[in-house]
């Protein structure tokens, strides 16, 4: 039953942000009588969707992937709905780290005489909402770095030419990663070189989603405000945030970009560059659960060097670019012992390319 609830929860992974994606199953014994998953932000939670399918839930068992909410938000508390429905048992995969819930949902259910079990398939449930959980437990979003490289680890020719390293199948798969992200971060070098739109170029139907997709926030790390008001991303659907350093000289430049539709945030420096931790704190404050870094070797390497990487997704093309081509990361690692250890989570072929998903061995 919980496996089914997790499968339902996965259906909302592109549409529920900033809320978590949750699945719910209501059953009498082995018979499922209602099920649902969280609708887009402001819509019904999974428990309400499932209850709406059931004419009589008295003495039923509810399986839900995240602790039911206990507070008034855009919707009423799910705990109240479950208590009123007369369910006798609630099985929860993992507790909700949101301080507005954080165990209070479980407590209210128990006080109403409902049997509560917590921890069934917890690891899978946490993986599904890893961004939401990290934001509430650590105050930072989940950081995924995406790279595309040749077999000799090169992302572009020495000239900067990089279109295209990988096949159309891999590039389409990247759109799936974008669709699951709250923000896409790039650097000013990539913006000036490629003038990208940084939008999701895949339909909801292709993702198996029929609720409206959310265009991620586009974030450009631009310490000197070199970005032009004519940048292509400024006329795309969704919002663009430009992160820069403070200073009176930047104010006039910033206003031109604001007039063109951008949002500009002034952040502290870390050395001569923007403090990336401060940027992530800013994005967490904007309710970003998961962010995706699509950038060159400098910015991508800086996220890794500062210990901010949570997930690395590499698309490897069966090509060789040679030693003069550009590397994946600018990282000052001078000895074998100083290496960054990674754990392989998934390997699969995408078209002619190979996609490898890795997590760093935290803490690093």
Mean pLDDT across 60-70:
95
Pick the residue with more confidence: 71 or 93? 93
Active-site hit among 35, 47, 49, 95:
47
Token pair recorded at residue 291: 């962010």
Residues 89, 233 within the same domain = no
Note whether 124 and 5 are within 8 A (CB): no
Residues 348, 213 within the same domain = yes
Q: Which residues contact 254 (CB under 8 A, 6 or more apart)?
A: 225, 242, 244, 264, 266
Neighbour tally for 169: CB within 10 Å:
14
Phi, psi of 172 (to 5 degrees): -70, -35
The C-alpha atoms of residue 247 and residue 331 are separated, in whole angstroms, by: 29
Tell me if residue 115 is catalytic: no
Residues 161, 245 within the same domain = yes
Mean pLDDT across 206-210:
87
Residues 22, 98 within the same domain = yes
Token pair recorded at residue 128: 């599904």
The C-alpha atoms of residue 92 and residue 132 are separated, in whole angstroms, by: 17
- Tell me the pTM: 0.92
| CB-side neighbour CA atoms (13 Å) of 151 | 6
Number of domains in the chain: 2
Q: Does residue 208 surpass a pLDDT of 70?
A: yes
Structural element, H or E, at residue 130 = helix 130-138
Residue 107 has a pLDDT of 92
- For the ranges 55-69, 152-166, 174-188, the lowest mean pLDDT is seen at 152-166
Mean pLDDT across 30-54:
93
Q: How confident is the model at residue 212 (pLDDT cuts 50, 70, 90)?
A: confident
Residues 189, 119 within the same domain = no
Give the residue from 131, 158, 179 where a domain finishes: 131
Q: Which of 60, 46, 56, 55 is nearest to 7 (CA)?
A: 46
Please give the C-alpha separations between residue 101 and each of 39, 82, 290, in angstroms, as whole numbers: 19, 15, 21
Sequence ranges of the binding site:
45, 69, 78, 148, 162, 164, 178, 190, 194, 198, 223, 294, 296-302
153 φ/ψ sector (left φ>0, alpha ψ -120 to 50, else beta)? left
Residues 101-125 pLDDT 10s:
888 899 999 999 999 999 999 999 9
The C-alpha atoms of residue 170 and residue 314 are separated, in whole angstroms, by: 10
In this prediction, what percent of the chain has a pLDDT beyond 90?
80
Sequence ranges of the binding site for NADP(+):
148, 164, 190, 194, 223, 296-302
Residues 48, 163 within the same domain = no
Token pair recorded at residue 345: 């989570």
Q: How confident is the model at residue 73 (pLDDT cuts 50, 70, 90)?
A: low
Structural element, H or E, at residue 220 = strand 217-221
Residue 240 has a pLDDT of 98
Residues 97, 154 within the same domain = no
Sequence ranges of the binding site for substrate:
162, 178, 198, 294
Note whether 100 and 71 are within 8 A (CB): yes
Residues 127, 144 within the same domain = no
Residues 193-205 pLDDT 10s:
899 999 999 999 8
Mean pLDDT across 232-240:
96
Residue 33: which domain range?
2-131
Q: Does residue 328 surpass a pLDDT of 70?
A: yes
Note whether 244 and 216 are within 8 A (CB): no
Q: How confident is the model at residue 252 (pLDDT cuts 50, 70, 90)?
A: confident
Q: Does residue 33 surpass a pLDDT of 60?
A: yes
Mean pLDDT across 132-140:
96
Q: How confident is the model at residue 364 (pLDDT cuts 50, 70, 90)?
A: very low
Domain CATH code at residue 285: 3.40.430.10
3-state helix, strand, coil in the chain (%, to 5): 30, 25, 45
Residue 211 has a pLDDT of 84
Q: What is the mean pLDDT of the chain?
A: 93
Residues 95, 244 within the same domain = no
Residues 126, 154 within the same domain = no
Mean pLDDT across 3-8:
97
Residues 43, 148 within the same domain = no
Note whether 239 and 217 are within 8 A (CB): yes
139 φ/ψ sector (left φ>0, alpha ψ -120 to 50, else beta)? left
Give the residue from 131, 152, 169 where a domain finishes: 131
Give the residue from 131, 162, 194 where a domain finishes: 131
Residue 253 has a pLDDT of 85
Domain CATH code at residue 117: 3.40.140.10
H helices, E strands: number in the chain = 11, 18
Residues 88, 165 within the same domain = no
CB-neighbour burial class of residue 193 (10 A; exposed 0-12, middle 13-18, buried 19+)? middle
Q: How confident is the model at residue 363 (pLDDT cuts 50, 70, 90)?
A: low
Residues 259-297 pLDDT 10s:
999 999 999 999 889 999 999 999 999 999 999 999 999
């Amino acid at each position: 039953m919980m496996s089914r609830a997790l499968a339902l929860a996965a259906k909302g992974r592109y549409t529920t942000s900033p809320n978590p994606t949750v699945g719910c199953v209501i059953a009498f014994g082995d018979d499922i009588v209602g099920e649902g998953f969280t609708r887009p932000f402001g819509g019904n939670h999974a428990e309400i969707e499932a209850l709406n399918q059931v004419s009589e839930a008295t003495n039923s068992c509810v399986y839900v992937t995240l602790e039911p909410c206990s507070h008034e938000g855009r919707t009423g508390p799910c705990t109240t709905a479950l208590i009123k429905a007369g369910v006798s048992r609630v099985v929860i995969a993992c507790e909700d780290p949101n301080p507005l819930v954080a165990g209070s949902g479980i407590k209210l259910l128990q006080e109403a005489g409902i049997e509560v079990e917590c921890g069934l398939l917890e690891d899978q449930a946490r993986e599904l909402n890893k961004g939401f959980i990290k934001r509430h437990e650590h105050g930072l979003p989940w950081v995924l770095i995406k790279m595309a490289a040749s077999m000799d680890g090169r992302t572009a020719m020495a000239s900067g030419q990089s279109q295209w390293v990988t096949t159309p199948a891999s590039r389409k798969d990247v759109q799936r990663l974008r669709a699951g992200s709250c923000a896409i971060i790039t650097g000013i070098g990539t913006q000036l070189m490629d003038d990208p739109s940084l939008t999701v170029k895949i339909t909801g139907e292709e993702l198996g989603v029929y609720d409206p997709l959310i265009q991620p926030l586009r974030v450009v790390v631009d310490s000197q405000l070199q970005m032009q008001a004519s940048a292509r991303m400024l006329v795309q659907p969704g919002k663009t945030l430009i992160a820069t350093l403070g200073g009176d000289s930047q104010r006039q430049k910033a206003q031109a970009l604001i007039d063109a539709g951008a949002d500009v945030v002034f952040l502290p420096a870390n050395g001569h560059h923007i403090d990336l931790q401060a940027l992530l704190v800013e994005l967490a404050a904007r309710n970003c659960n998961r962010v995706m870094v699509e950038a060159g070797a400098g910015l991508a390497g800086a996220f890794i060097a500062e210990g901010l990487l949570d997930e690395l997704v590499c698309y490897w093309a069966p090509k060789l670019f040679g030693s003069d081509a550009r590397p994946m990361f600018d990282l000052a690692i001078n000895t074998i012992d100083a290496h960054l250890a990674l754990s392989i989570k998934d390997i699969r072929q995408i078209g002619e390319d190979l996609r490898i998903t890795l997590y760093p061995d935290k803490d690093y």
